[in-house]
Structure 1
């Protein structure tokens, strides 16, 4: 079995809802720039985001898209930094909202996720090796899984995700739109459930984006000058 990195295996709710990063990144082999890693680049309701947070997030985005930072011009680097900072602000706001709400998950829920991850490896030794390679421990992994599960539970509640419905008309309209540009598209009956899942995800994203804007509107966000 091909081993997958833990970061790729752990399912984070923002991947589903917004395509945003909600995992930790702790790889001592990642390059660092010359910025002061402790410098504060933003404050969100008094919670600080440091240059180190921003650098790590930027590197994560580059790694996901398999882009060499050296290949980016000044404008592209600026866009990368702005996108990373906006995502970190959103992440901080969401973490604060979840903490204020007091949402909890059970130990058994976390255990199930750990077992799912372990199942991706040939044996316990391979699993522990992956943890070591990522520069982390199972305790840290459990903490991150708990954060993801708590956030997912919170969003399911506050956004009322179970109320989302997709009509046959919406499925047919999406199919017709795609078939107009893809003559090799399978029959509607074969991919109806896939289209339904896609539309559901779009609606989740819209709800989440609206909710984030509400959080931002009510927050005190201070973006500091950056070198």
Structure 2
């Protein structure tokens, strides 16, 4: 189970922008196709004001940048966008920008020690996450950003983070009883299925192999099996004879559960006891000899092992809720103008 505490992740931040170029996140250059009905000539100017928050302008450029971030965060950057989807994304991005501006304005009223120094450190950290200065500059260009923008967003992140910690997170409490209640009500999340650890030797066969070539491969696998039964070391034999990349580890495939291997292989592996070796098992990849090294019965992770993570997760949920309520209160007290669509 993966429980994550997410503080303020619905806000458009500098961290969100620079993360676009990091592994596992959609690249910044993957832009959502614009609806066919739109034409470049009809696009509003970047400086066009789309909303105003207590007198502070949010421009079309701000909104377009926020849309890119939102699309990338939700892995939607390369999906076709119809008019309705485009409208929904734009509305969501605008609401994020309004929430961010409200929190930033409120956060500026709180003192932060050495803010300028922290901003510079944050900017340096952002740059350090890129493999080279050239990659950093490339991403800035693709996001229509400048170094000054990164500095501005870093300052906003710090100010908002300080506000969230002092006004919301510090007031949230989660007890062990709360965590135990969550654990009991969501026990299936903590159940671990049966798993095994196995090694194998593969005599690979090409998908287009002739019957004669397949017979030759099977005969080779049978000969290897005979040597193993006579006492040959499995790991050393795998290193010499296996055509699988796992040969470098003596054929070790690590721990896996049901559904992770092709059916014939899985059936043979789970039928073995630790220390036992299979016969020759045929799959679409060729002929395998499997040796089971470990077997783990289904189990449920104990509460004590996950208690801290559950408490962290529950606190994160409460903080998220608190941020939403805080923003709604700021909206009631402030003046929000939607200037242009």
| TM-score of Structure 1 vs Structure 2, range by shorter chain | 0.7 to 0.9
Q: Would the alpha carbon gap of residues 49 and 68 (structure 1) be closer, same or farther in structure 2, given more than 3 Å must change? A: same
Q: TM-score, normalised by structure 1?
A: 0.75
Q: How far apart in 2 are the matches of 1:218 and 1:165?
A: 27
Tell me what 1:88 maps to.
Answer: 97
Identify the residue that residue 12 of structure 2 maps to in structure 1: 21
> CA shift at 1:180, angstroms?
3.9
**SS state of the match for residue 208, structure 1?**
helix
Is 2:159 the partner of 1:150? yes
CA change 1:143–1:74 in 2 (3 A) is closer
Structure number having the greater strand percentage: 2
The runs of 5 or more residues in structure 2 that have no matched partner are: 21-27, 35-39, 193-299
Partners of 2:129 and 2:106 in 1: CA distance:
33
TM score, norm. by length of structure 2: 0.52
Verify the 8 A CA contact 2:107 2:159 in the aligned structure 1: yes
Q: Which residue of 2 aligns with 1:53?
A: 62
Work out the CA distance in 1 between the residues paired with 2:117 and 2:125: 12
**Alpha-carbon displacement from aligned partner over 1:125-154 (angstroms, at most 9, x marks no partner):** x45334323236766544433332222122
The whole-number CA distance in structure 1 between the counterparts of 2:61 and 2:117 is 33
Residue matched to 1:197:
312
State which structure, 1 or 2, has the greater radius of gyration over its C-alpha atoms. 2
Residues 104 and 150, structure 1, Cα contact 8 Å, conserved in 2: yes
1:208 has 2:213 as partner: no
Is 2:174–2:315's contact at 8 Å kept on the other side of the alignment? yes
User: In structure 2, the residue corresponding to 1:71 is in which secondary structure?
Assistant: coil
Partner residue, 2:183 = 175
Contact 1:165 1:200 in 2 (8 A): yes
Gaps of 5+ in 1: 1-13
More helix by share: 1
C-alpha spacing 1:88/1:139, structure 2 compared with 1 (3 Å):
closer
